[in-house]
Structure 1
Amino acid sequence: MPMDVEHLRIQGSARPERMYPPDILPQLQSLLADLADIDFTCEKDLERIRRSPTGEDHKRTMVAALLLRHQEQRAPYVEELTALQERMRAGFE
């Protein structure tokens, strides 16, 4: 094993391990999955609007409404994610 790798391994093991509370990872995964679902649905809806035969003015109105709804749907999840991030940060102080 090269000297540099061995040195890093020894150094790495001397550092204290950082541990999150056990409920954080499942919450984080769930929030990120929910946000991904919301974003994916929005992208599908945007594409459907763009491909529709509707006039450009109506498309702009529909897109604006969709993006507003998207932002409103995401807001509570982003707030939870921010709170979770604060809990994680507090665990390392």
Structure 2
Amino acid sequence: MPVRIVSLGDPEQGFFRPVRAPYSLISPSPPADTLEARVFASIDDLEAGLSEIAAEVDLFHTQDCISRAAARVRTPARTCVSCAPCTMWTTSPRRC
């Protein structure tokens, strides 16, 4: 299955380490004053970026609560597959 890594980061700087998989970096908002505001801004930034590629991928696999919340861009036709601590969105009925 083809894989693409998606993360918040500066697209002009590239990923923070060498990776063999293709990746997309989503520009983050400027840092907010509080941790709570930073978390919600990260969710909104990831959601906006993921919505741009949602039609190109069949599966979202998330590793944390921020990216899991951002993965809400999937359509109701897609199935949410959850297993702690991750969530997968897929068109397949397969479960973890």
- Tell me the TM-score normalized by structure 1: 0.31
Q: Which has the higher helix share?
A: 1
Structure with the larger RCO, 1 or 2 (CA within 8 Å, 6+ apart): 1
**Higher Rg of the two aligned structures:** 1
TM-score by length of 2: 0.30
Larger strand percent: 2
